[in-house]
Amino acid sequence: MKKLCIYIWLFFPLWVFGNTFTQIEINSHKVEYINYSTNSEIHDIQIGLSEEGSSLRKIIKDYQWVSGINGVFFCPDDYSRCNGNSTINERFIQGKEITTYKSTGERVVFWWDSEQNPFLHQTDKINPGKRSEIYEWFANFPLLLQSGKNTLEHYYDVGLIGNKMRRKLTRHFVCSTKEWKNILFGTISEANMDDMVPVLLKIGCHNALNLDAGWSSAFIYNGRNRRWPGREVLDGIVISRKDIDTKTIDTTVEKVFEKITKNYLKKSNTEESISLLQSYRDAINTTQKKIYSTHQTQIYDQYWDTIGYTLPSLPKNTFKKIYILNTIDAELRALIKKL
């Protein structure tokens, strides 16, 4: 297993290859994020969309992607200001604008153009003349960082940092680096809006936007659920591997899961069924750990205490194996939960 000092990691935040996962503790917060390189030759990034609401896993499967996180603010039925809409936030899918209002208001669009150059946009305020260049992304608030500077004071001044945003919850974010070559997205545990800013600066964020969290929280890496949502989501940031046909992998998963289902149905009671399914999960988890321990790099602080790890994009055949294991494990977990 490789070793990496945290100071080296933070000084060179661009050692990434398109779909690199990092888990690290910063300021007592557990931070998990995916680092996407816009120069990646084997990965692509896109907005996955569901008009009526769906699980992030289904969105990823429908788009044949492998990793992702939920996106914009979701309007519950009792939110009158949404006027019956699923969301009031702007979304752009391959150059097509899906929006309720002409102006972004206090929301900010985190976007990229057709060449995957990331930018910010806000009506009449941030890159106002570039709205026509937006290829994909969506809007949310608050904007956390702009050009490396904390932007929360404005949202406090206009009264948009409410009690929910002041609470310590698991928060979601998306950001770009100073060189505009990397897009990071992930979660920060037990944090309010103010807690997020110093953490994001430490992992190399230069422009950063808060994403929807709470019941909408969903985060998947290589088919593995890092966060499970309590409700359906409208969209998400999703990453693919161009060298892999996930449809073929999903077919393999379905066949394996069908065999597992037949075995558990033979059990006479729920307790025996759960025990059998959990034994499958235990076997999968053991194999997962072996694969991860071989490829992950540990991150240390200045005292050489372990504070996290990073997992780079895996070789093609190894990725296929871990994706199958992760997907089957997610299906097993969901099935056990139903019993």
| Domain segments of the chain as ranges | 2-241, 246-338
Cα(164)–Cα(127) distance, integer angstroms: 29
Q: Any idea how long the chain is? A: 339
Q: Report pTM.
A: 0.88
Assess whether pLDDT exceeds 60 at residue 84.
no
Residues 110-148: tens digit of each pLDDT: 988 888 889 999 999 999 988 888 888 888 899 999 999
Phi, psi of 265 (to 5 degrees): -70, -20
Structure tokens at 120: 């910010």
Contact 242, 44 (CB under 8 A): yes
pLDDT of residue 16: 41
Taking CA atoms, 108 is separated from 59, 131, 209, 233, 324, in Å, by 24, 12, 8, 20, 37
Residues 285-330: tens digit of each pLDDT: 999 999 999 999 999 988 899 999 999 989 999 999 999 999 999 9
Mean pLDDT confidence for 1-29: 65
Q: How confident is the model at residue 90 (pLDDT cuts 50, 70, 90)?
A: low
pLDDT of residue 37: 92
Radius of gyration of the chain (CA): 20
Residues 153-192: tens digit of each pLDDT: 999 999 999 998 999 999 999 999 998 889 999 999 999 9
Give the percent of the chain with pLDDT over 90: 50
Contact 299, 6 (CB under 8 A): yes
Within the chain, how many helices (H) and strands (E) appear? Answer: 8, 20
Contacts of residue 265, Cβ cutoff 8 Å, sequence gap at least 6: 273
